[in-house]
């Protein structure tokens, strides 16, 4: 009897696992804020609204890491090379 083996590390990552970039989350959050209130067009890093966006991005990044880790429990051979987790 022969057995076929599959190198799981060569499979693509499932769509549920994402690369996490807090800067992208901040940009998306800022764009959402500006779309709701055009007065926020000149946000700078010292602006309280921007600081709140950083806090939101930090929390969302942590949540996404937790989701990645939960999904990764089932796909650990695929995740060995990921650095975002």
- pTM above the 0.75 mark? no
pLDDT digits (tens, 9 = 90+) for 13-72: 667 777 889 999 998 988 888 898 888 777 888 988 889 989 999 999 999 999 888 887
Half-sphere exposure of 76 (CA within 13 A, CB side): 2
Q: Are 30 and 50 in contact (CB under 8 A)?
A: yes
Look at residue 81 in the predicted model and tell me its pLDDT: 54
Burial of 37 (0-12, 13-18, 19+ CB in 10 A): exposed
Element (H, E) at 60: helix 48-72
Domain boundary assignment for the chain = 17-79
């Amino acid at each position: 009897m022969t057995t076929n083996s599959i190198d799981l590390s060569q499979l693509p990552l499932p769509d549920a696992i994402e690369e996490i970039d807090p800067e992208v989350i901040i940009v998306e959050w800022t764009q959402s804020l500006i779309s709701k209130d055009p007065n926020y067009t000149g946000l700078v890093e010292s602006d309280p609204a921007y600081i709140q966006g950083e806090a939101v991005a930090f929390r969302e990044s942590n949540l996404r890491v937790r989701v990645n880790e939960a999904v990764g429990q089932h796909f650990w051979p695929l995740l060995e090379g990921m650095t975002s987790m």
